[in-house]
Amino acid sequence: MSEPRVGVVMGSQSDWPTMKEAVGILTELGVACETRIVSAHRTPDRLWRYGGEAAGRGLKAIVAGAGGAAHLPGMLASKTRVPVIGVPVQTKALGGVDSLYSIVQMPRGFPVATMAIGAAGALNGGLMAAQIVALEDAELAARIDAWRAALAASIPEEPSDD
């Protein structure tokens, strides 16, 4: 594939089962993306470098997932103007509400677009990133429109027992 336009980053290998949802939808829509493990606490230098280089490398959006004390999305947002989409990863101890609160309460001036907790949030994060890229890519916009139309068509008008 061509140069990545979206970065999908996560705080730990343990976040991958969640974050692969973002990669799945980006791949389905034909958006080139890269994946990295970048931890705010365990690899802060890697985080600083990734955020510092993101705009210059041509990334249009970053989907960042983390759990617990989920500082990765916010710290990335402090380091780059590339839009950061935060995914709160579900946790065993507090169900992911800890992750959500850690990501959503950013101070004025440094926004993170925060998704729902868990897999649906990760998929929506990938979709949101694709929609950002589609602002300057008409062919991708058409693929997103078709994807949405197919989803709508798959919803039955009436419930059934099957």
Binding-site annotation, residues: 12, 15, 42
| Coil, strand or helix at 54 | helix
Contacts of 51 (CB under 8 A, 6+ apart): 75, 76, 78, 79, 80
Residue 73 or residue 126: which is nearer to ligand RP5 going by CB? 73
Binding of ligand RP5 by 14 (CB under 6 A) = yes
Cα angle at 46 between 35 and 91, to 5 degrees? Answer: 60
How near is the Cβ of 138 to ligand RP5 at its closest, in Å? 36
Residue 15 or residue 127: which is nearer to ligand RP5 going by CB? 15
Q: Which of residues 21-50 bind ligand RP5 (CB under 6 A)?
A: 39
Q: Tell which residue, 124, 123, 117, 127, has the closest CA to residue 66.
A: 117
Structure tokens at 26: 């980006």
Binding marks (x or -) toward ligand RP5, 59..78, rule CB under 6 A?
-------xxx----------
Binding marks (x or -) toward ligand RP5, 87..126, rule CB under 6 A?
--x-------------------------------------
Q: Is 87 left (phi over 0), alpha (psi -120 to 50) or beta?
A: beta
Instruction: Return residues touching ligand RP5 (CB under 6 A).
Output: 11-12, 14-15, 39, 66-68, 89
